[in-house]
Amino acid sequence: MLFFAVVLVCFTACKDRTAEKRIAELESRLAEVEGKKTTTTNVPAPNPTVAAPEEKPEGPLPVIQFETTEHDFGTIKEGDIVEYVYKVKNTGEAPLIIQGAQPSCGCTVPDFSKEPIPVGGTGYVKAKFDSNGKQNVQNKTITVSANTWPKQTVLRFKAMITPKAGSNGPAAH
């Protein structure tokens, strides 16, 4: 007899939870129809980590063309600060706007043309690399964002860094 009472209580409790969930869903839908927001909803939120793939914009676009996307500084001494200017040409059909340049680490400081580059015009992206605290082969990148398709272009550079006298072991950042 006790067994049946426990089963009955569990069954009723499960039904109550299901009913409460259903009522909350209906209240949420009703609030949406009436143009109100609710604080409780059981509708799953969209996943913010999954971005929809971007589509190519319509109409004329700029095209970012680099003389080269890779540079080798060769062998430098630890502590040297070196720079390289990547030359850019707009070979597209609309003004080119470089929106940003993101380095792969804090040892690299990028700079770039801030004004729109007209069709057929030229500009630059500069990489300033500080080798302080670095040794051996270093491979770095700068991700350039622009109003192009695709939106990003990756520039690469490398250097072979000879350690300062008295340095202990290699550092790869």
What is the per-residue pLDDT across 41-59, written as a single tens digit (0 to 9) for each? Answer: 444 445 556 666 777 778 8
What is the structure's pLDDT at 125?
98
**How many Å apart are CA 62 and CA 159, to the nearest integer?**
32
Which stretches of 35-165 are assigned E, i.e. beta strand? Answer: 64-66, 70-77, 81-90, 98-103, 108-112, 122-130, 136-146, 152-162
Domain edges within the chain = 1-45, 64-162
* Span 127-131, average pLDDT: 98
* Span 122-147, average pLDDT: 97
What is the structure's pLDDT at 13?
43
What is the structure's pLDDT at 133?
95
**SS3 of residue 117 by DSSP:** strand
What is the structure's pLDDT at 14?
45
The partner residues of 9 in beta bridges, in order of sequence, read: none
Return the exposure string of 136-156: e unless at least 16 CB atoms fall within 10 Å of the residue's CB, then b: eebebbbebbbbbeeeebebb
* Span 80-109, average pLDDT: 97
* Span 68-95, average pLDDT: 98
What is the structure's pLDDT at 43?
46
Mean pLDDT score across all residues of the chain: 81
CATH of domain 64-162: 2.60.40.10
